Amino acid sequence: MISPRTTHEAQIAGRLLPLARIWRKLADEALEAQGLSAATAWVLTHLGRIGPDVRLTDLAEATEIAAPSLVRLLDQLVEQGLVTRTPDDHDRRSKRLALTDRARPIVEESERSLAALRRRILGSFDDETLATTAAVLDRMSGAAAAASAK
């Protein structure tokens, strides 16, 4: 006989990936008007929050995106004129990253679009449910990170 705990664990694990895929699809659709994807908006938002003159390694850590994947996203953003890469004065191998003036209003609009998406999906949940869900997801993220480090 399967225990209720085992059933719940399987239900949670079985829903995470499909939910992430649906959320990303909806985010991509919400950001289409800004010419962004969920991934590029994630990078731009973090770059804006960290501030100008950011090293790739710091941005990779903040976004939790592997450096090779992040470089590909940054290539797109540089090509779109939304990010600049400049040589690092202290490390010739490294580049510094910054949002362009053109990017700032796009980042603000993308944040509004994503906030509207969150309200659309989560608007029917009360504050306590949202807080509990956020806490559970934080614990799951920590447990997954710890398992990944082993």
CA 149 to chain centre: 21
- What residue spans define the domains of the chain? 34-122
| Share above pLDDT 70 across residues of the chain, in percent, rounded to a whole number | 100
| Share above pLDDT 90 across residues of the chain, in percent, rounded to a whole number | 88
Indicate the pTM of the whole model: 0.86
* 3-class secondary-structure state, position 108: helix
- Asked if CATH classification 3.40.640.10 holds for the domain at 34-122, the reply, yes or no, is no
Asked if 97 contacts 59 with a C-beta cutoff of 8 angstroms, the reply is: yes
* 3-class secondary-structure state, position 35: coil
